[in-house]
Amino acid sequence: MPELPEVETTVRAYRPRLEGRRIARFVSRCSKQAEPNVAAVRRGIVGKRVVRLRRRAKYIVADLDAGCGHLLIHLRMSGHFEWAAEHDRRPRHIRAIFDLDDGNRLWFCDARKFGKIVYARDFAEATRHLGVEPLERGFTTARLRRILGEHARQIKPLLLDQSIIAGLGNIYADEALFRARLHPATRCDRLSNGQVKSLHDAIRGVLRTAIRYDGTTIDSVYPRGRMQRHLKVYGRAGLPCGRCGTPIAAMRLAQRGTHFCPKCQALSGNRRTSLSP
DNA sequence: TGGTATGTTCCAAA
DNA sequence: TTTTGGAACATACC
């Protein structure tokens, strides 16, 4: 389920349920998902109140009582929340249980067990590896231009690198590059100012649109999103491009399925030329 | 059966 | 040193 828009949607849905509540009990059913370990997570969060629920990159962050640290949850590929009051029967793949002081219960479910449940005393330290928030004020066109100029990589793998820009995943990287009319293998330090501006607008635009539609539903794990109706390239290999009708192409780039329009996103200006000094 | 999957990390190779 | 490719993590689905 989880890229920035899906995590943001989850945070907004669970904020009224969790903010102000005290965590009464924590049970882990998959100890390897708890960091630094189950006992440390339990010690850190049980008895503490969730003062604020927010998002940083693809992390769901619960700020606990002042000075009591933070609970960070990363959903990775298949993690999601389930609210016990909405279920008659227990869902599959429950990996952790959070009981609240109002009698409610939150299940953390995760078929593939890639997700992480982290207790951190120091938030800055725990998130030091993360790059800029693409929807924040500080993510300007100039900032993006500087970032792109500092690397000699292909643009799509760079967009997926959470230590540079934090929040894009495989769906929205492809969608942003389509909007900006950039081939996914374009060298990021060879973009014109106009292309950088287009990419900046595309990244923010596609994330905002996806949040407006409550994210993308790929399977039943995350059923509420409507953004999949508005995807232009992701998962559309062979279907006509909405702009020019050319069949959408699929390729493998940096080990990820990559979708683009070969006509609208032609690779250009990407070769080192003998004219360069 | 084999290939693919919304993510991240580690290691080796170029 | 930087970038890229592959494998690994564990499970479901086609």
The pLDDT profile of chain A, 277 residues, written as one tens digit per residue, is: 699 999 999 999 999 999 999 999 999 999 999 999 999 999 999 999 999 999 999 999 999 999 999 999 999 999 999 999 999 999 999 999 999 999 999 999 999 999 999 999 999 999 999 999 999 999 999 999 999 999 999 999 999 999 999 999 999 999 999 999 999 999 999 999 999 999 999 999 999 999 999 999 876 566 678 999 999 999 999 999 999 999 999 999 999 999 999 999 998 766 543 333 3
Annotated catalytic residue A125: no
Separation CA A58–CA A4 (nearest Å): 5
Length of chain A: 277
3-state SS assignment for residue A140: coil
Question: CA-to-C1' distance for A139 and B8, Å?
Answer: 23
3-state SS assignment for residue A149: helix
pLDDT of residue A268: 76
Annotated catalytic residue A263: no
Report the nucleotide nearest the CA of residue A3, measured to C1'.
Answer: B6
Separation CA A4–CA A6 (nearest Å): 6
Separation CA A55–CA A52 (nearest Å): 10
pLDDT of residue A215: 94
Annotated catalytic residue A256: yes
Give the residue carrying structure tokens 């004219």. A275
Q: Enumerate helices (H) and strands (E) in chain A, giving the number of each.
A: 7, 11
Question: CA-to-C1' distance for A164 and C14, Å?
Answer: 35
Annotated catalytic residue A49: no
Question: In terms of DSSP bridges, do strands A116-120 and A34-35 run parallel, antiparallel, or are they unpaired?
Answer: parallel
Question: CA-to-C1' distance for A152 and C3, Å?
Answer: 8
Task: List Cβ neighbours of A211 (8 Å cut-off, separation of 6 or more).
Answer: A5, A8, A9
Confidence (pTM): 0.95
Query: Where does residue A180 rank: exposed (0-12), middle (13-18), buried (19+ CB within 10 A)?
Result: buried
Taking CA atoms, A39 is separated from A34, A35, A70, A235, in Å, by 9, 9, 15, 41
Task: List Cβ neighbours of A103 (8 Å cut-off, separation of 6 or more).
Answer: none
- Quote the crossing angle between the two packed helices A4-18 and A193-212, to the nearest 10°: 40
The catalytically annotated residue of A21, A55, A58, A236 is A58
Max intra-chain CA distance, chain A: 70
A199 alpha-carbon distance from chain centroid: 18
Q: Which residues touch strand B (CB under 7 A)?
A: A 1-3, 6, 57-58, 74, 76-77, 112, 114, 129, 160, 162, 169-171, 216-219, 221-222, 255-257
Radius of gyration, alpha carbons of chain A = 20
